[in-house]
Structure 1
Amino acid sequence: MFFRLELQRRGIRSAEEFLPHYRRAAERLGLRHVDPAPKTFEGWFYDGRRPQRVFRPVIVEMLGHTIDALWTDVPATGVLPQAPAPVPVAGPSPPAASPARPGMDMSEMRRSGAMAVRRARKYVLQTDRERVGDSTLPVLHDHVARLITDYPRVPLSTIWDDLLDAQDQVIFNLETGRHRPSQLGDLNFLAGILAFLVAKGFNDMEDREQARTMSLLATSFARDAEHPGLLALVHGLQSLIEYWADRPGDALFYAEKGAALSADLRGTVGLWLLGLQARAAAILGDEETVRIANRTAFERRESSVPDDLDELGGLLTYSLEKQVYYAVESEAHLGHGDAVLLGEAEEAVRGFSDPDNPNWAFGDLAGAQCNQALVLLHGGDVDGAAQVIRPVLDLEPVYRNNGIIVSAQRVRQALAASRARTAVVARDLGEEIAVFPPRRSSFPSPPRR
C-alpha cells in the first residue's frame, strides 16, 4: 500500500512518529484535529483500512497525495511505483528513510516488531477461516499463553485490545463450526481462559456487572471443554469478584463451591480456592474457617502436582508467594498484629520484591504491602504502616486497579479505628489514601523497578 510506503520513506513506522507530523498538518489547515488512536493508525498502516472522513484532509495535507492514491496497493512484483511528487509544505523536511534507522531505540524496535507480529498472526488466522487449519490453534495457544503471562505484570490498558481480539478470534472459530471435532475441546478451553481473563479485567476496572456476566460465559466454556480444573478456577474468580465488591458471604459461597469441585485435583487451583475461603471467612469474622482453610492449603501444597493450568502460569497458578500473601491477609482481616504475623507479612512482601521472578505481579506486591501496613496498624505502629504503604501510594494511576484501591482503603479504615488516629502521621496518611483512586491514563509508563 502506497500510504505505508510513503510513511516508511519519511522514516515513520509508529503512531508516536506519525502524530507530530499529523498535528502540524492539521494546524496548517486551521482544523481542530482529533488524534487517531494508536490502534487506528495500526489499522491504516498494517491492515490497509481507509481512514474515516474526519482524518482524511489532514492526511492529504501531511503527505501531499489524495486518499485514493495513498490507498493504492504496491504491486506484488516488489518494483515500487514512482510516487507522485509530494505537495510542498511548510515546516521541516521529513527525515530520510532507511530500512534500519541508526537512531531507533529498543522500545521503538519492540513496538514496531509487536505490530508486525500482530499483523502476521492476523494473516495466519484469516487464511484458515474456511476451516481451523494446522497453524490456527498453535497461534491461538501462543497468543493466549502470552496474555496469561502478561496480565499480572503489566497495566491492563496495554493488553486489553489484544485480549478482546483473541477472544473474538476464538469465539469466531467456535461460532462458524469450521473445525474438526478433535479441535472443539481445545477451542472451548481457550475460550474459557480468555473469558476468565476478560472477566478479571472488568473486575479490575470496577465494572462488576460485566465481570459477573463474563464469568458466567467462562463457566459455560469450561463445562463444554469438560475441564473441572478450569471450572473450579472460574468459581474462584467469581469468589474474587464478590470479595472485592465487599460481599464476603457470596465470596465464601463461590469459594466453597469451587473447593468442593477441586478437592480431588492435584494442581494449585484447589489451594487457591482454600485461600479464597479463608479471606472471605475472615471478613465475616469466622476465625475457625480461616484456620482450617489455611492449614489445609499448606498441607495440600506438599502433595500438589502442577497441571495444565499451572504450566500456563500467570493468573492460572497459585504460587507459594501468593499463598503466603493470602494467608497473611486473612489473619490481618481478623485484626491480628503479633510479631509472628508481622514476620509472615514481611515474607509475603519479599516474595514479590523481584520483578524477574516469574510469579511476580504488581497487584500482589501492592496487596502484600497493604497487608503489612494493616498488621503494623493492629500492632500500634502507625509510622511503620505509613512507611510500608508508601510504594503503593506512589504507584502511577494506570497500575491502580480495583483490588489495589480497595486494599488501600482498608488500611484507611484501620487507621480510623486506630487509637493513634489523631496523630499527625495517621491524619496525613488517611487523607492521602482518601484521594488515592486514580484517573487512569491510556498510555502508561513502564513500571518502576
Structure 2
Amino acid sequence: MAGNARQGDPRTTLEFLLRQQPRTYEEIVREFGRLAEELGENVTLSSRHLRRLASGQRANTTPVMRRVLQQMFGKPLDELLAPWDGGALPAVDESTGLVLATGRPTADRELIEMAARRAKHFALVAGQTELTSDVMEQVHADVQQLAMDYPQRPLSELLPNLIAAQDTVFTLLEQQRRPDQGRQLYFLAGVTGGLLAKASHDLADPHAALTQARTAFVCADNADHNGLRAWIRGIQSLVSYWAGRTRESVRYAQSGTEFATNNTSSVWLPMNEARAWAALGNANAARAAIERAESAWDSVQEDEVDELGGLCSFGRTRQIYYAAETLSWLPSQAAVAGDYATRAVEAYEDSSSPEWAFGDQAGSHSALAIARIQAGELEGAEEAVAPVLGLTPEQRINGIIHCTQRVHRALRDSPLADAGADLQEQIELFTRTPLKSLPR
C-alpha cells in the first residue's frame, strides 16, 4: 500500500485514498504518467510531490496536473486535499486497487459518475483534430443539464461539475477548431461563465461574479450571439442589485436591451431594472419598467439560450416574483405587492414545475412577509417567512440571506418592531450560517 495505515489517521482525503492502493507511491506516480499521456496532457508528478500533497504540506498544482489528478481519483482537487473526515474504509480489490461497489446507493452512484466522467474525457481528447457531432452534443448536454439543475439543487452539489464543464470547454477552445464548432464552443463557454458568475454571487463574492460575467460576455462576442449577450447583461444586473450597486444594476439592465431582440431576456432585463429602481425609491421608473417587461412578451421568440432552460430562461412565474419583490420596496404599493407575492408563493408550491426554483420561492415568501408587515399583520408575516427560515445552510445562498435581512429591516422600521422581536431573532440566527460560511 502507498503509505502505512498504522502511522495514524490520514491527514487528507488523498492520503486516505492512496492508503487503499495495493501499490507504492512510485507505482502510483507511473500510473499518473500513463493517464496523463492517454489524456494528451504534458505533465509529470514526482513521488515527493505526491507525498507532500497527500500529507497536506503542499496544495499548489498546475491546472494540467489538477485535471489529471481529478480524473485519476474521480474527485475535485479541493476535496482530495481537504482534511480526511474519518469516514469508513471502502472495500478495495487487492489485485487492482479499485474501490469496490458497496451496495450503498450513494457510493455506487459516485462510482458510476466517475466512470462516466472518465469515458467522456477520453472521448474529448482521444487524438481528435476535429470534434465529432457526438462530442459536441455531449458537451452541450452537460451544460444544458447544469442550467436546468442550477435553480433547483444546492450549489454544493453542482459546483464541481460546473467548474469541470467550464474547464472542458476552455480546453477544447485552446485547440484549432472549425469556425462553426468554435462558435458553438464559445457559446457554451459564455453560458458556463454566466452560471459560474451566478455561483460566485450565491457565495457572496460579487468581484468574482462580475469577473466571470465579463469573460462570459467576451465569449458571447466571439460567438456573435445577441441572446447570450443579453442574458449575461441580466446576470451582471442581478449581481449588482444584490451587491447594493443599484444604479450599476440599472445600467447593466438598460445596456442589455440593445441585444435582447427576441429571447426572454427582453422580459428579464426590464424586470431587473424595475427591482433596482424600486430599491432606489423611484416608483415611477419601477412601474414603467414593469410595463415594458409585460409588453415585451408580445415579441418573445425562444432562442438557443432559452432552449437550455432553467436559469437560462425567464418565465411568467419568475416575472410575478420579480414584480412582488419590486413593489415590496415601495410602501405605497404594499397591497399590490401582497397580491403579486401571494400569486408567486402559490406558483412555486409545485416543485415539479420546470420553473420551480428554491431561491425564487424563498424570495416570494420574503416579499409576502414584507407586504404583510407593511399591512400590520405580524402573524401573517411569520407564517410567510417560516418556510424560508427552515432552509438548510446548503440552500442559504446570498440572495436568500439578503431577502430575509430585508424582512428584518422592514420589521425593525415598522410599528410591529417590539412585538416582532422573536421573529427578528429567528432571522438573525438564520443569517449567521449562510452558504458562504460552510467548509468547502
In the TM superposition, 1:27-46 aligns within 5 A as 28-31=6-9, 33-36=11-14
User: Structure 1 pair 129/406, CA: closer, same or farther in 2 (3 Å)?
Assistant: farther
Q: Give the match for residue 192 of structure 2.
A: 194
User: Structure 1 pair 234/442, CA: closer, same or farther in 2 (3 Å)?
Assistant: same
Q: 2 CA distance for matches of 1:400 and 1:38?
A: 31
Q: Give the match for residue 157 of structure 2.
A: 158
1:267 CA drift (Å): 1.7
1:364 CA drift (Å): 0.8
Mark the structure with the bigger radius of gyration.
1
Amino acid at match of 1:380: G
User: Structure 1 pair 165/94, CA: closer, same or farther in 2 (3 Å)?
Assistant: closer
C-alpha contact 1:144 1:194 (8 A) present in aligned 2: yes
288-297 vs 269-278, greater mean Cα deviation: 288-297
Q: Give the match for residue 244 of structure 2.
A: 246
Q: What runs of 5+ residues in structure 1 fail to find an aligned partner?
A: 4-21, 58-90, 444-449
Q: Give the match for residue 118 of structure 1.
A: 117
1:376-406: CA deviation from partner (whole Å, max 9, x where unpaired): 1111111211121111111111111111111
1:37-64: CA deviation from partner (whole Å, max 9, x where unpaired): 99999999x986889326879xxxxxxx
User: Structure 1 pair 42/392, CA: closer, same or farther in 2 (3 Å)?
Assistant: farther
Q: 2 CA distance for matches of 1:227 and 1:95?
A: 49
Structure 1-normalised TM-score?
0.77
Out of 411, 414, 431, the position equivalent to 2:410 is: 414
C-alpha contact 2:231 2:265 (8 A) present in aligned 1: yes
User: Secondary structure in 1 aligned to 2:174?
Assistant: helix
Amino acid at match of 2:426: E
Amino acid at match of 1:275: M
Query: Is 1:430 matched up with 2:408?
Result: no
Q: 1 CA distance for matches of 2:360 and 2:432?
A: 17
C-alpha contact 2:408 2:424 (8 A) present in aligned 1: yes
C-alpha contact 1:242 1:250 (8 A) present in aligned 2: yes
What is the root-mean-square deviation of aligned Cα atoms in Å? 3.3
Q: Percent identity?
A: 33
1:248-288: CA deviation from partner (whole Å, max 9, x where unpaired): 111111111112332xx222111000100110010111111
1:76-106: CA deviation from partner (whole Å, max 9, x where unpaired): xxxxxxxxxxxxxxx9996999x9x997254
Q: 2 CA distance for matches of 1:422 and 1:42?
A: 59
1:345 CA drift (Å): 0.8
Q: Give the match for residue 403 of structure 1.
A: 399
User: Structure 1 pair 41/218, CA: closer, same or farther in 2 (3 Å)?
Assistant: farther
Q: Give the match for residue 258 of structure 2.
A: 260
Query: Is 1:369 matched up with 2:372?
Result: no
Structure 2-normalised TM-score?
0.78
1:370 CA drift (Å): 0.8
Q: Give the match for residue 143 of structure 2.
A: 144
Q: 2 CA distance for matches of 1:345 and 1:39?
A: 50
Amino acid at match of 1:164: I
Q: 2 CA distance for matches of 1:240 and 1:317?
A: 14
Q: 2 CA distance for matches of 1:159 and 1:400?
A: 15
1:339 CA drift (Å): 4.2
Q: 1 CA distance for matches of 2:128 and 2:350?
A: 42
1:211-238: CA deviation from partner (whole Å, max 9, x where unpaired): 1111111111111111111101111111
Q: 2 CA distance for matches of 1:188 and 1:370?
A: 37
Number of equivalenced pairs? 381
